[in-house]
A and B are shown apart, each in its own frame.
Chain A
């Protein structure tokens, strides 16, 4: 590849179509205020790393929790400010030299990610569930992640009362990546954002305090498969660049729909070759579908959800899905609308196997975390149905669904952290038998979340599912809706089964106890229930919000 080609990578993005090799280097224009949410989070994350280095061990936990919460709240305030300033609608545009889109879907999803991260971070900071170890309060994370499980160094670390406070800057890095991911407006930014949010997640999965081997195994699997999917994504990006001569979404879109015929001398052999477009597009889809957990790219989900520390699972299940679906929507609506008809049958197929597969396999699960993992797969299928709708309603229904789903998920996993026995969390379903008799409140709250997952009316799950299926039906995907409703019926079986188990079975003698959490986890669960009920009873305001935010800038 000649120097010209590499150079054009940047110049075409800034709108210079005929790149001259001798042109002066232009300083990039960065709209710092519009990128404020990302910058705040990433800035505080860096600060968190410095805290780990310089602040005394005793003060780190409080400092980190404080900084993280402040960062997320400030970033959310910045998102709200931008939205109020009209950046979601009239002033939507592409910032940072074409790298980041500041528009309705970006701001909406960033807001959802920040809020779910905030409530998820509360569960990260929870230190009252496990009994104190050697007089020190402990959270869900290993005393020292680097120590070998069962080794003397691990014991020493526990005795010394170490805690892995690094999780907080890691979460912030991850959140920063997620904020950029749905807003990424060129393929390279997309890839960078993907890696920025994935790498901290791999680490976070590995640092469970209990069942460390399982946790580490899950992290390795996640990392390996994540790297595999990133490779597909990257290869797809290369192919698309070969096809369009650019990595900018807008530029690729113009080449795809044939409105601009350009030939880059360096890419004369490949440009406009549809095979590259199709293969590249499919590979990028692979990368994104891996992140949303669509069948057949879902197989990491149950293992990782089960192995990761439960607060991390909750965070990951909610926020990753939001970010990845945001990126998928933008890719399909901005870059590949010209391919709608080529991709539609394939996407149909994936949506169907995802809905049915997730729901069917969930039936025989015996572990609550795995059950929720398969449930998340089925939900990915439902959301895909809305994505396929290919209408403005489709976009806004997916946005709304992501908002409802993420809060239910964080809340549900927060409840999972409460049900414990001597070995830590009691995630085997048989141990949940009769929970409703022993702890009616916790069981009732969990039942609310399960009903929301099942899409029972008066919960947010119904509003979301209704919006998505309606959009899909209006968008000509009636068949998908039929499959979706059947899958929902299958899924309802295992959700209701858990409710039956909790309320209509005799409690076991050696059953788990329900730990009384600090106000942190209580807040998480309360927010989850509140959002579930409010969006179930009065969804209109948020539906309107989502439909206002449902336009991508090009």
Chain B
């Protein structure tokens, strides 16, 4: 059975290779090939999952060693895979959602002439992401980590003719490099501390290692997680990453890749458990990002950017849960999976809306779309209910658990974290309701004519008329797009309940991550009630602001906070002032030092050597008598020195 593991990666990798190297001949069938291979990987995952379910909890982990990668004395690195319950969860999510998004892309990218390449990149992403989650050591994880970074870069900048897309790709790449540095430093520290990178030996040895070292490793891992998962302070790239095609936003920048940081922290749980200081920082980062992302999400008028803020915020929940230690690991992953469903669904819905609205992303130019896109409306609506935590839906279960766990942390800490999580829940309800109302309800602000006529003939506009200034003709998307949305909507509705009832997910993951109930100061039902209150408050405020009053097409100036939030809470201004300007000054001073000091020393040395040479050369005057004197003097010195040595 373990021999199948490599197949998980091999299928999409093959797809990427064939599609990217195959050339134009594959243009017509490329997307089918890519989708087929993604689906093949999913089938393998399901087979492995079924097999795993048939075994006892303790011997579910599979292991497959492909080959020795770097077999050097004292430095052993293998290409080996490990498939345990944690990896399995990710594999199912990645291949499942991945396959759905492949299918969705067939329709979404229909008119793009570089569709084959797009599917090649998607397959490449799947392969890299799978390597990331099934590697059995940190070095191979790093390979996958860089691989998804590459795929993300290529896909954000997929529409490279748009300068904004190219810039966004570059930004994502650069910010991710900072995180990647953290991961590579963490791996180096691990090697010097433990002498190996393999999960098993490293995580078992945490007991005998000094806390200082573990804290250092943990903080570096956290830096890596911040980069990949867009957590404060490395969050700035995610909003711009929405320049990529929407399926990419759904798959990579909502459901899977951005959650790699959560995976990394949960996987390295043993390190964080033994380094409480690092764990504390994780919690703080999670809590700050949770609020940060939520505030940004409230102010954005771009539907994808609003969702991106929401993603940031929801991953903040996960990071916060992961930072709680064994109390939260399971719930972090559970929220990750349910979030994968509903956020992917929301993004696909957003993509569907854009598809029908001439790629318009400004929600102020939407409105009343529920009549024109019923399927999108329903699936998006279910996703919306799931994310705000409407009772019975996925988000309700998973988010509720995290809030409970935050309180269960105990002490003042627990109260603060729990309150922040509750506040986040209220804001989530607010901004998601805002998105929902602005998009599907209210006036049809996209009409150029003053009087909206719902009876207008709903014809498919010709491609030529889908120009920038033409009035959009909202319409439902093709089947290839709606079916994945429907499937994801099922996940959004039922996954949480399925996982939570009878603690199924807890029992599934507990053997890997461990679990601790903590000591909750308030009962679970109290927390649930508080969450409900927060939810209702959020929705009510949003209704008051966007439901009852008409939404202006031009954004109002807004309060100071709104304006700051529109600018992503000044993240780019901060980065520009501190990093760009600072970097420029640093570079300039280094260049100055190089030109004056370094070059000065080098040239000065050369000049002084030349001068010395010229002077010494004069000793060579051509007279044998001078030469003889030199020899005589040399001998005298030689004798004197020898005698002196003996005397001393």
Contacts and interface: CB of A to CB of B under 8 A. Distances in A.
B502 interface: no
Nearest to B622: A303
A456 interface: no
Given A220-B624, A361-B616, A346 B631 contact: no
B643 A299 contact: no
Contacts of A285: 638
B639 A302 contact: no
23 contacts: A224-B624, A228-B632, A274-B646, A275-B643, A278-B642, A279-B643, A282-B635, A282-B638, A286-B634, A286-B635, A296-B630, A296-B633, A296-B634, A297-B631, A299-B620, A299-B626, A300-B627, A346-B645, A360-B616, A361-B613, A363-B609, A364-B610, A493-B609
Task: Give the top 3 A-B pairs by smallest Cβ distance, nearest first.
Answer: A296-B634, A299-B627, A363-B613
Contacts of B619: 299
B555 interface: no
Given A228-B631, A357-B616, 6 more contacts: A225-B631, A296-B630, A299-B630, A300-B627, A343-B645, A493-B606
Given A299-B626, A364-B610, A281 B631 contact: no
A495 B543 CA distance: 83
Interface string A331-369: 000000000011101100110000001001111110000
**What size tier do the contact residues of chain A reach?**
35 or more
B234 to A, nearest CB: 43
For the complex, would chain A's binding face be called helix, strand, loop or mixed by DSSP majority?
A: helix
Contact of A232 (B626, B635, B641): B635
B646 A299 contact: no
Nearest to A357: B616
A345 B624 contact: no
Task: Point out which of A286, A349, A360 has the most chain B C-beta atoms below 10 A from its C-beta.
Answer: A360
A297 B634 contact: yes
A364 B614 contact: yes
Nearest to A360: B613
A504 to B, nearest CB: 18
A87 interface: no
A221 interface: yes
Contact of B639 (A274, A279, A290, A363): A279
B631 A360 contact: no
Interface string B360-398: 000000000000000000000000000000000000000
Interface string A208-222: 000000000000110
Contact of B617 (A225, A281, A283, A364): A364
Interface of B: 606, 609-610, 612-614, 616-617, 619-620, 622, 624, 626-628, 630-635, 638-639, 641-643, 645-646
Contact of B641 (A220, A283, A349, A364): A349
A490 interface: yes
Contact of A283 (B624, B633, B635, B645): B635
Nearest to B606: A493
A362 B641 CA distance: 28
Contacts of A232: 631, 635
Nearest to A221: B624
Contacts of B622: 303
A221 B638 CA distance: 23
A490 B609 contact: yes
B613 A296 contact: no
Contacts of A275: 643
Contacts of B626: 299
Nearest to A224: B624
A489 B624 CA distance: 31
Nearest to B619: A299
B643 A286 contact: no
Nearest to B623: A221
Task: Point out which of B616, B635, B646 has the most chain A C-beta atoms below 10 A from its C-beta.
Answer: B635
Given A300-B627, A364-B610, A278 B646 contact: yes
A8 interface: no
A221 B627 contact: yes
Nearest to B641: A346
A343 B617 CA distance: 29
